[in-house]
């Protein structure tokens, strides 16, 4: 039995004895058209090569033949239903979608956006952390260095004044402690300026009654006073003051911090060094507010923190702008690329179902353009092959 494809005119020899049932189905190898073969009532059989033994399996590709005069004309094959062609197309698309993974846009976002951005964020966090550590280290080290220098300066000032007082007392052996408070020249030597508001003062070691008195001070009201009576005015700040002030005994040098009340009733931290006047019962106390030395460093620390914060904010703004820009560029380019690929995929699908006149209107000069040209050449090749088959028919 001879079967002719209605679409392309391809002819096949079919042995109806190998068919199961009254109707057999197969797809044309040339155009993929569904051919339905109905078993005739009477037919002289002509042998052929391999036809499908089951429905819906494509018949083998065979050479075209002409009708023989002795053959009985077979009834025209039944026209396949469009529903069956749609079913095959839908099954093809269903299989394709089941195997589909991440889209090209998602892959581009992951490779060219999320991964670089994560690295940038990690590098920025490390940079900010190192910048803060460096700023804190510099300011802290600077503050410590200045503090030590200020403490040493105050101590050297006390030792210098103690040496001057010793020379004066050696030059005036008859002067008593009470006389020193009335000696203007001695007061100039014993009371000297330290820093901006600090000063030196002279006091004695505890006498037989255990009293320590001051005999040279910037405040005349304190001269000759029992220093333990400052407990009332200083209140809670007195213990820290008395600890430094009373420690220097037996030729020892004492130093430390204490809180002092200013004229405006406010309390500020001071540093004091008590140095003995060698060969005498006197001590020189050198004291001042330490913040007079460290204030410039504190201001520098504030400026460094402000600069660090400003730099951090600028870098965060740059990072955010970079995130937005890179995300926009990657998304925009990815969408354009995937749109072109989807368009070419759609054209290829249309060609595969027989739309050989499908127009490819895509402008591209890169690899996408090469793919477009390849599909166009394939379309022309299929069209020429179909035309040749029809001419041979």
In this predicted model, which residue has the larger pLDDT, 248 or 371?
A: 371
Does the structure show a pLDDT above 90 at 196? no
Res 211: pLDDT:
87
Does the structure show a pLDDT above 60 at 8? yes
CB under 8 Å to 152, separation ≥6 — which residues? Answer: none
Distance, C-alpha 246 to centroid of its chain: 58
* Cα atoms in the Cβ-side hemisphere of radius 13 Å centred on 235: 5
Res 154: pLDDT:
93
Res 189: pLDDT:
93
Q: Are the beta carbons of 130 and 136 closer than 8 angstroms?
A: no
Give tens-digit pLDDT for 344-363: 888 888 888 888 888 888 88
**CA dist., res. 315 & res. 266, Å (int):** 42
In this predicted model, which residue has the larger pLDDT, 188 or 123?
A: 188
Q: How do beta strands 193-194 and 282-289 pair?
A: unpaired
Res 64: pLDDT:
36
Least confident of 41-50, 61-70, 197-206, 240-249: 61-70
This prediction has a pTM of: 0.48
Res 384: pLDDT:
87
Res 102: pLDDT:
60
Res 216: pLDDT:
92
In this predicted model, which residue has the larger pLDDT, 131 or 348?
A: 348
Mean pLDDT on 226-251: 83
Structure tokens at 134: 């460096």
> In the chain, helix, strand, coil percent, each to 5?
55, 15, 35
Res 359: pLDDT:
81
Res 105: pLDDT:
66
Res 274: pLDDT:
93
Give tens-digit pLDDT for 294-344: 777 778 778 878 887 888 888 888 888 888 888 888 788 888 888 888 888
Does the CA dihedral 45-51-52-57 come out positive or negative?
Answer: negative
Q: DSSP 3-state assignment of 372?
A: helix
Does the structure show a pLDDT above 50 at 181? yes
**Radius of gyration for the alpha carbons in the chain, expressed in angstroms and rounded:** 53
The segment with the largest mean pLDDT, out of 35-44, 96-105, 373-382, is 373-382
**CA dist., res. 190 & res. 187, Å (int):** 5
Residues above pLDDT 70, as percent of the chain: 82
In this predicted model, which residue has the larger pLDDT, 244 or 59?
A: 244
Mean pLDDT on 193-215: 88
In this predicted model, which residue has the larger pLDDT, 227 or 25?
A: 227
Owner of token pair 């002289």: 44
Please report the domains of the chain, with CATH numbers, ordered by start residue. 2-98 (no CATH), 149-294 (3.30.450.20), 336-392 (1.10.8.500)
Least confident of 44-53, 175-184, 324-333, 361-370: 44-53
Mean pLDDT on 284-292: 89
Does the structure show a pLDDT above 90 at 49? no
Confidence category of residue 186, pLDDT binned at 50, 70, 90: very high
Residues above pLDDT 90, as percent of the chain: 13
Least confident of 61-65, 197-201, 263-267, 278-282: 61-65
In this predicted model, which residue has the larger pLDDT, 128 or 310?
A: 310
């Amino acid at each position: 039995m001879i079967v002719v494809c209605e679409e392309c005119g391809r002819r096949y020899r079919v042995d109806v004895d190998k068919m199961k049932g009254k109707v057999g189905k197969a797809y044309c190898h040339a155009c993929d058209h569904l051919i339905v073969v109905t078993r005739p009532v009477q037919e002289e059989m002509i042998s052929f090569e391999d036809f499908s033994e089951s429905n819906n399996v494509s018949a083998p590709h065979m050479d075209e033949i002409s009708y023989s005069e002795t053959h009985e004309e077979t009834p025209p094959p039944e026209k396949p239903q469009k529903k069956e062609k749609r079913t095959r197309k839908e099954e093809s698309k269903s299989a394709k979608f089941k195997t589909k993974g991440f889209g090209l846009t998602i892959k581009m976002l992951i490779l060219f956006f999320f991964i670089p951005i994560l690295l940038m964020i990690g590098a920025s966090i490390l940079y900010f952390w190192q910048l803060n550590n460096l700023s804190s280290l510099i300011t802290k080290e600077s503050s410590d260095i200045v503090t030590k220098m200020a403490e040493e300066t105050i101590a050297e000032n006390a030792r210098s004044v103690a040496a001057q007082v010793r020379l004066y007392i050696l030059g005036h052996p008859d002067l008593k402690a009470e006389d020193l408070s009335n000696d203007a020249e001695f007061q100039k030597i014993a009371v000297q300026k330290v820093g901006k508001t600090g000063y030196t003062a002279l006091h004695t070691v505890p006498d037989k009654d255990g009293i320590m008195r001051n005999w040279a001070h910037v405040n005349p009201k304190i001269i000759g006073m029992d220093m333990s009576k400052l407990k009332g005015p200083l209140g809670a700040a007195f213990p820290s003051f008395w600890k430094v002030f009373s420690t220097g005994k037996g030729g020892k040098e004492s130093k430390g911090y204490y809180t002092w009340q200013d004229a405006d009733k406010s309390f500020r931290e001071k540093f004091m060094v008590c140095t003995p006047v060698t060969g005498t019962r006197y001590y020189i106390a050198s004291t001042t507010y330490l913040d007079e030395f460290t204030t410039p460093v504190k201001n520098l620390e504030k400026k460094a923190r402000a600069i660090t914060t400003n730099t951090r904010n600028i870098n965060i703004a740059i990072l955010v702008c970079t995130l937005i820009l890179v995300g926009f560029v990657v998304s925009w380019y990815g969408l354009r690329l995937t749109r072109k690929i989807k368009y070419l995929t759609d054209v290829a699908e249309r060609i595969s179902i027989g739309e050989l006149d499908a127009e490819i209107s895509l402008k591209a000069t890169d690899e996408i353009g090469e793919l477009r040209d390849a599909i166009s050449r394939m379309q022309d090749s299929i069209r020429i092959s179909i035309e040749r088959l029809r001419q041979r028919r």
